Amino acid sequence: MTTKDTTAPLLEIRDLAVHFPTPGGAVRAVNGVSYTLRAGETLGIVGESGSGKSVHVLALLGLLAARGGAGAIVSGSVRFEGQELIGRDEPALRALRGRRIGVVFQDPMSSLNPVLTVGEQIAEALTSHGLGRAAATRRALELLELVGIREPQRRARDYPHQFSGGMRQRVMIAIGIACEPKLLIADEPTTALDVTVQAQVLDLMRDLRKKLGMAMIWITHDMGVVAGIAETVQVMYGGRILERGPVRAVFHDTRNAYTLGLLQSLPGAAGAAHRSRLTSIPGQPPDMTRPPPGDPFAPRNRFATPRCFEEVPPLAQVPDGAPGHLVAAWYDLRAALAAEAAA
């Protein structure tokens, strides 16, 4: 990183790797991810299923067990507010979850307990961290109001099935921000929602971020959503970061072929600058039990050089790019595109 912050970063991840042992060999879901997040910064992490984008944030909270990863091997270092998280015991992580780091999950239909009222479920996020029952109940009503649910008194007594998808996601957000965490992790929070509802939830999140001054990691497969909410974008593939930088730089001075593919497959105005027609990325994501030895995207990349198949490219500052714009590529995408246009 070229920019030097005077304050210590909120989150500092170094060489994080997550491997799941399976009978068919270890699945190498995350392979050496390093980045930092400043307090109040919003980072958008983009990638397709299996890119390691969700797994690496769940790993740092010790939440892999639910995804069939009870035996996951996590290595590297994650420092949050200066404290190392990897290897911490369950009580220490539990004290952190929900209180300092909130999480909003993808599917609001199944992420709420169907047999408890939403009020009870919001209040639980507070009572789990020591707030009294009566105070938690009052605060739950404030939170419902804060996330834009009308008649909070009445709605708090309703069950999840009595809410629409968008309203349920607002409830999930209320739970995520209940303790005013320093970091909110949003794991594809708008993916299961209608486009109009998506826009409302994005507005709400931008608003809450400002009010609460929290940092956010927004995980998505949608470059369009990132453009709308994040300051920094990080593109992941095959358990590695391929490109990272300020949203403007990554969108308009794209240096990785995979990022370009994501932008070209984006419908609407945000993608129009990158293509003449809507295109998809050819090929399949790699088999993570036997990841390719070099650049994980090389087999699907028409600009790949022989070196791409042999050696993993390091994530490094783009020489003539914006400060903080990093790319992992052996090829020069700008030169390759120029050559293609000339031919």
Q: At closest approach, how far in Å is the CB of 188 from another protein? A: 12
CB of 310 to another protein, least distance (A): 39
| Longest CA span, the chain | 71
Q: C-beta of 115: minimal distance to another protein in Å?
A: 5
Identify the DSSP state of 77: E
User: Contact region for another protein (CB under 8 A) — 81-89, 95-103, 271-279, 320-328?
Assistant: 95-103
Asked if 177 and 169 count as a contact pair (C-beta separation under 8 A), the reply is no
Subset of residues 25 to 84 that bind another protein, contact rule: CB under 8 A: 61, 63, 66-67
Identify the residue among 94, 206, 221, 334 touching another protein (CB under 8 A). 94
State yes or no: residue 131 binds another protein (CB under 8 A). Answer: no
Alpha helices in 83-147 (DSSP H): 90-96, 118-127, 133-146
Query: Euclidean distance between the first and final Cα of the chain, in Å?
Result: 36
- Residue selected from 113, 132, 335, 340 as contacting another protein according to rule CB under 8 A: 113
Q: What is the amino acid identity at position 38? A: R
Q: Identify residues 138-167 at the interface with another protein (CB under 8 A).
A: 140, 156-159, 161
CB of 264 to another protein, least distance (A): 32
Cα–Cα distance measured from residue 292 to residue 298, given in angstroms and rounded to the nearest whole number? 8
What is the rounded distance in angstroms from the CA atom of residue 161 to the CA atom of residue 156?
Answer: 13
Strand, coil or helix: 284: coil
Considering only residues 35, 105, 251, 331, which one is a binding residue for another protein as defined by CB under 8 A?
105
Q: Which of 31, 42, 51, 111 binds another protein (CB under 8 A)?
A: 111
* Sign of the dihedral defined by the CA atoms of residues 78, 84, 89, 92, in that order: negative
Residue 129 touching another protein (CB under 8 A): yes
Q: How many residues in the shown chain lie near another protein by CB under 8 A? A: 41
Q: What DSSP letter does each residue of 105-117 carry, written as one string?
A: -S-TTTSS-TTS-
Task: Using the minimum distance from each CB to another protein, give the nearer residue, 81 or 124.
Answer: 124
Using CA atoms, how far residue 163 sits from 4, 90, 150, 187, 312, in Å, is: 46, 33, 12, 21, 47
Of the pair 52, 119, the CB lying nearest another protein is at 119
Site for another protein, rule CB under 8 A: 61, 63, 66-67, 90, 94-99, 102-103, 105, 107, 110-117, 119-121, 123-125, 128-129, 137, 140, 156-159, 161, 172, 175, 178
